Structure 1
Amino acid sequence: MDNPCTVQAPRPRLGAFAAVLLVGVGIGTGIGLTVANAEPATAPQAAPAARPNSGKAPPQTVTWYAANPKARAQVELACLDDPGSLRKNPDCINAHQAAVTVALREARSRTGTLNPASTDFWRNDPEARANKINLCRIAPQTQYCDVAKRSLQIEANAARR
């Protein structure tokens, strides 16, 4: 009895950054769907303290909302409560963009820099730095050799930032 042989190609592995990105997108989508599908409360709720302006005063900027989380949250609540009439309100748009900006800042502060031209990138990953410096001994024209070496010098207090 002949059994056909099948060969299965190995599955490609995601890099750490791609995996974190996919998880973040999944969480954001899940939160968005949860908010969109939430049933309204049966008891009447108090009106939020801050309501987006109706065009009388200039809208606040993204930077202002990023620096004022309480006001941003109040405006976002009002905008979520009445998306039909407030969807294109500049304050709603700016408050939402500020929330995205603040979340991005927080994520970057937890993950460090992803720029190999920065000494912080090499300081945060000493194993990659050691590999890069070893590669640079063989091929000195390799990109970011000087930055990787400088990060080690900074760490050893041999150079100033």
Structure 2
Amino acid sequence: MTLAATPSAGCPARKTGLQRRVKGSRLRWKHGLAGGRTALGSARTSGDPRRASNERVFAMAFAKVYPMYVQKAEKKGRTKDEVDAVIRWLSGYSQAELDALIAQQVDFRTFFAGAPAVVERHPLVSGVVCGVRVEEVEDPLMRQIRCLDKLVDELAKGKALEKVLRS
């Protein structure tokens, strides 16, 4: 449900024509193609809210998510080196390349677009992560991201590194 923001004193909507979408009790804003802000499910995504959500994930910097992967594994007694090994196995990057990509703050789209081995290895990953079966994800990039999530989850759950890496 898209509503025009109600003009009030100090409301940015009066000047910029902002729109908002109320979802539950949270108000969510999204930038549109023309530089203005529009609600999720805009013409850019052809009305598919899942695609809008995917686009947000694809544009997210890998460097912002990487520390969370490491933190999740470390809470369960695993190391940063093991997380790096999992990422290197799935993507095919070397440690130096991985460190450079993190320093460059590339987004997920760029990270997986340049990955040398991800196309060959992501079919080896199966199972459920966050209630979604990895094999059934239609968007190839989202499937690769879910595969990475699944591998980090398996590592954090205590699975042996050799089994996580499908060796």
Which range, TM-score by smaller chain?
A: under 0.3
- TM-score (norm: length of structure 2): 0.24
Of Structure 1 and Structure 2, which has the larger fraction of its residues in strand?
A: 2
Q: Which of the two has higher C-alpha Rg?
A: 1
